[in-house]
Amino acid sequence: MTLHMLPYLLAFLLLVVGIYALVAKRNVIKVIVGLLIMDYAVNLLLVLVGYRVVGGGAPMAPMAPILTPDLTPADIAARAVDPLPQALILTSIVIGLSVTALVVAIAIRLYDRYGTFDTGRMRNLRG
Average pLDDT in the 23-49 region? Answer: 92
Whole-structure pTM value: 0.77
What pLDDT, in 10s, does the model give residues 76-110? 777 677 788 888 899 999 999 999 999 999 999 99
Sign of CA dihedral 32, 97, 44, 92: positive
Write the CATH number of the domain with boundaries 3-124.
1.10.287.3510
Average pLDDT in the 51-62 region? Answer: 56
Q: How far apart are CA 84 and CA 114, in angstroms?
A: 44
59 pLDDT above the threshold of 70: no
Beta-carbon contacts of 71 under 8 Å, excluding residues fewer than 6 positions away, are: none
Domain locations in the chain as residue ranges: 3-124
Residue 27 pairs with which residues in a beta bridge?
118
What pLDDT, in 10s, does the model give residues 102-121? 999 999 999 998 889 998 88
CB 28 within 8 A of CB 110: yes
- Tell me what pLDDT residue 108 has: 96
